[in-house]
Amino acid sequence: MNETSQATPISLFETAPAEAPDSAKLATAFAARMERARGLVDAGAVEALGNGRYKVRSGGGGWWAVRPGYCNCPDFAWRGAVPCKHIIAVELARPFLAEPAA
């Protein structure tokens, strides 16, 4: 039997396939949101409210409420594994936003 000598060399990669598809999908989803988030930042859609709270203008003319790790938009509620574009936009814009006077 030669099977054992053939199986050994690929054992290094046998744990990878279980994780790879999910992280690849997450990376793709994240990249798409990152691009939209950049558009929001460029449009000046992010405003600081103070105390770690922000608001981000929505396409419909309203505002989404964002705080670290949370957004009240439907996209975030639907799939929390990937931050929505509003949360990413806040992360991108935060260093450049002036906190409002308390």
Binding site for Zn ion (CB under 5 A): 64, 71, 73, 76, 84, 86
With contact defined as beta carbons under 8 Å apart, do 55 and 93 qualify? no
Nearer to Zn ion, 54 or 64 (CB): 64
Tell me the one-letter amino acid at 81: A
CB of 24 to Zn ion, least distance (A): 23
Nearer to Zn ion, 20 or 26 (CB): 26
Tell me the one-letter amino acid at 89: A
CB of 37 to Zn ion, least distance (A): 10
- Report which secondary-structure segment, H or E, holds 71: strand 70-71
